[in-house]
Structure 1
Amino acid sequence: MTHNITKLSVLLAGVMAAGIAAADYPTKTITMVIPYGAGGGTDVLARTLQPALEEALGQTIVVSNVPGGGGILGFTQVANAKPDGYTVTIPNNVIFATEGMGNATYTYSDFDYLGNVMSEDYVVAVRADGPWDSWEALVDDMQANPGTVSFGFSGAGGSTHVASEILADMVGYRARQIPHDGSSDAVAAAMGGHIDALMLNLADLASGLRSGRLIPLVSLGDDRLEDYPDVPTLSELGHELSLTNWRGIAAPAGVDAEVKAAWAAALEAATSDAKVQEAIANQGAEVDYMAPGETLDARMAELAESFIRTAQRLK
């Protein structure tokens, strides 16, 4: 009897300690794993959010770049971390795409989604001094010369790879698909003339577009880009396809409700910050805050179904 009471006391003490720890969250430095190299859209977003999140959470956030495998290496590190809220990442559609391609050991349900931050369009861009000044001209060339135009994206089996293949199937062309280890590498390759065109999110293209060395040809979003009003959407050109990406905060599945609440409050504060909003707008994206819960989980499930199904066809 005494032995059972002792075991119960130890168990209750552990539960109480865990509850206190969750309620006091955070009490130490948080690591934000960015599964790409420095300079890409995800890295820029992390460093944009960092000061506002540190102020809201009252703790230091260390941004750790872990590139490799088109995001798989970094996301795997997070999926395998302790679900205590001290290791997080910034995911997007690549989580679903890599699962569908069978390239990753994790699934999208191995993460808890702590909030959505922004949404952005997929965009096709080319070198400004290249031979194409319109999407129609590029398509004509790719259709007339199948497999000769090189089309870059970020990571084999990733979000932009799947989006690029969906686009090729919809429009009816064949290009040489060239993966890169992160969006910044893809942008550098395009600006250097190593690839002819590339498919990325608008935020990932920001540095190349602002430099004037890249120009956007078409957007896959529902509406024309605010900063590039002359760039048509794919639907305007007669193709019924709309693709957008998202970026938010995720942690290993199993974090406490108190941790989720802390991140919800911090992300709401950060996305309401004028400097953060301006920085996201300057990347050509828009703040799209969604709190953790049923609505966000349903959105993730819907996106997962679409991207996983498409990615499976590409294997």
Structure 2
Amino acid sequence: MLKSIKLAVAALALSAAPALAEYPEREVLGVVMWGAGGATDTVARAINPAAEEALGTQIVVLNKSGGAGAISTAFVNAAPADGYTFLYGAENPQLHGVMGVSDIDYGDMYPINILGRGVAVIAVPAESEYQTLSDLLDAIQANPGAVKMGSTGPGGLPSTIGALISNATEFDVTAIPFDGEGPGLTAMLGGEVDFMPTGISAAAEQVKAGTMRALAVVNPEPVDTLPDVPAITDTLPEMARFLPWGPFYGVFVRADVPDDVKQTLTDAFATAAEDETFLDLMANRGNVVMNMTGQEAVDFLAKWQQVTTWALQDTGAAKVSPEELGIERP
């Protein structure tokens, strides 16, 4: 699967022909994998105006959540291979196979641009009784299954972080699924769940505003966006072997979209990723801008999938072995 995508990247690089004048002739549809207000949606809407300007046409943004990203991924893959429908996606499809969610991952698509990556935090409401990560873990261990964790379904960021933590300590929680980090965090603030692992981009503003508290960043060290929030390894040193780890955000199309259309989209988003408004938002939300295209993007996706799926396998969270799916151990 990855071999075929590598060949496609090579062919695109060799051809590098100017895009046909008729593309784009009309508006383009950008399908966001998660609901409004979540991390993926925030990144998509930040780059969308600059991408419209670079592409020379309107990009209609459609939120299509569900199935930990499987519904939107299938939707884009079922659309005509003409470049008029693309995916604003996150990391989730790279886990769909091992989680038994879907047989479509980014190896079946073409990465127009890996826009950036993020850092996750463990978030609670500001009025929560849990003042530190140790407080939360103590409560979980004292009351197995009683503490409620906001989730986005199998293969989502919260469940993946939960699986990694469970390899470092006892972590018997009840996961409550929502259609994206935005709805999940809203539910958490409403008292429906006790805590939620989430991308820092979805939580940073509310943490700074004092309506939410971050107990830890899922990173080996603190980050500039929330410098006073401790690293998760301060409490769980065993997490170090999985880090750095985090979500990523990108633009993807069907693998069989014509090469000239891929090149037009690639050029547009490479330009948009240098827009000052987009760069400022990414920095303020604690994200790292990558602006990665071509074979480099394909290699990044493969490595991320290897590291994460085998971590899930080793913690017992995977439903299907990565080996069965042809994913090599890193």
TM superposition score normalised by structure 2: 0.83
Match of 1:165?
Answer: 163
- The Cα offsets for residues 202-261 of structure 1, whole Å up to 9 and x where unpaired, read as 112245324422111111124312121121112343222312111010011122332232
Task: State how 1:83-122 maps to structure 2 within 5 Å.
Answer: 83-122=81-120
Match of 2:35?
Answer: 37
- The Cα offsets for residues 50-104 of structure 1, whole Å up to 9 and x where unpaired, read as 1100110111100011122232211110122222221111222211122221112
2:67 pairs with one of 60, 63, 69: 69
1:184 pairs with one of 173, 182, 185: 182
Distance in 2 of aligned mates of 1:223 and 1:266: 34
Please state if 1:289 is matched with 2:286.
Answer: no
Contact in 2 for aligned 1:90/1:247 (Cα 8 Å)? yes
Provide the secondary structure at the position in 1 that maps to 2:76. Answer: helix
Provide the secondary structure at the position in 2 that maps to 1:152. Answer: strand
- The Cα offsets for residues 253-303 of structure 1, whole Å up to 9 and x where unpaired, read as 122332232222212211111111112222222322112x22111110111
Contact in 1 for aligned 2:30/2:59 (Cα 8 Å)? yes
Task: State how 1:241-252 maps to structure 2 within 5 Å.
Answer: 241-242=242-243, 243-252=245-254
State the one-letter code of the partner of 1:51: P
Deviates more, 1:170-179 or 1:45-54: 170-179
Contact in 2 for aligned 1:76/1:105 (Cα 8 Å)? no
Provide the secondary structure at the position in 2 that maps to 1:90. Answer: strand
State the one-letter code of the partner of 2:292: M
Provide the secondary structure at the position in 1 that maps to 2:165. Answer: helix
State the one-letter code of the partner of 2:306: E
- The Cα offsets for residues 16-45 of structure 1, whole Å up to 9 and x where unpaired, read as xxx997464322211000122222121222
Provide the secondary structure at the position in 1 that maps to 2:114. Answer: strand
RMSD in angstroms over aligned alpha carbons?
A: 2.0
Match of 2:23?
Answer: 25
Match of 2:272?
Answer: 270
- The Cα offsets for residues 104-142 of structure 1, whole Å up to 9 and x where unpaired, read as 242332211111111101211111111111111211221
Contact in 2 for aligned 1:162/1:310 (Cα 8 Å)? no
Distance in 1 of aligned mates of 2:54 and 2:248: 22
Contact in 2 for aligned 1:126/1:214 (Cα 8 Å)? yes
Provide the secondary structure at the position in 1 that maps to 2:277. Answer: helix
1:142 pairs with one of 132, 136, 140: 140
State the one-letter code of the partner of 1:251: V
Match of 2:304?
Answer: 303
Q: Work out the number of aligned pairs and report it.
A: 296
Structure 1: which 5+ residue stretches go unaligned?
1-18
Contact in 1 for aligned 2:31/2:61 (Cα 8 Å)? yes
Contact in 2 for aligned 1:71/1:155 (Cα 8 Å)? no
Please state if 1:46 is matched with 2:47.
Answer: no
State the one-letter code of the partner of 2:302: A
Distance in 2 of aligned mates of 1:288 and 1:20: 25
Match of 1:155?
Answer: 153
Contact in 2 for aligned 1:28/1:59 (Cα 8 Å)? yes
Deviates more, 1:143-152 or 1:206-215: 206-215
Distance in 2 of aligned mates of 1:126 and 1:20: 50
Question: Are the structure 2 counterparts of residues 64 and 141 from structure 1 closer, same or farther at C-alpha, using a change threshold of 3 Å?
Answer: same
Question: Are the structure 2 counterparts of residues 308 and 81 from structure 1 closer, same or farther at C-alpha, using a change threshold of 3 Å?
Answer: farther
1:163 deviates by: 2.1
Question: Are the structure 2 counterparts of residues 23 and 295 from structure 1 closer, same or farther at C-alpha, using a change threshold of 3 Å?
Answer: farther
Contact in 2 for aligned 1:161/1:179 (Cα 8 Å)? no
Contact in 2 for aligned 1:97/1:159 (Cα 8 Å)? no
Provide the secondary structure at the position in 2 that maps to 1:263. Answer: helix
Contact in 2 for aligned 1:135/1:218 (Cα 8 Å)? yes
Question: Are the structure 2 counterparts of residues 301 and 266 from structure 1 closer, same or farther at C-alpha, using a change threshold of 3 Å?
Answer: same
Distance in 2 of aligned mates of 1:23 and 1:290: 25
Provide the secondary structure at the position in 1 that maps to 2:97. Answer: helix
Identical amino acids, percent of aligned pairs: 29
Question: Are the structure 2 counterparts of residues 182 and 150 from structure 1 closer, same or farther at C-alpha, using a change threshold of 3 Å?
Answer: same
1:310 deviates by: 4.5
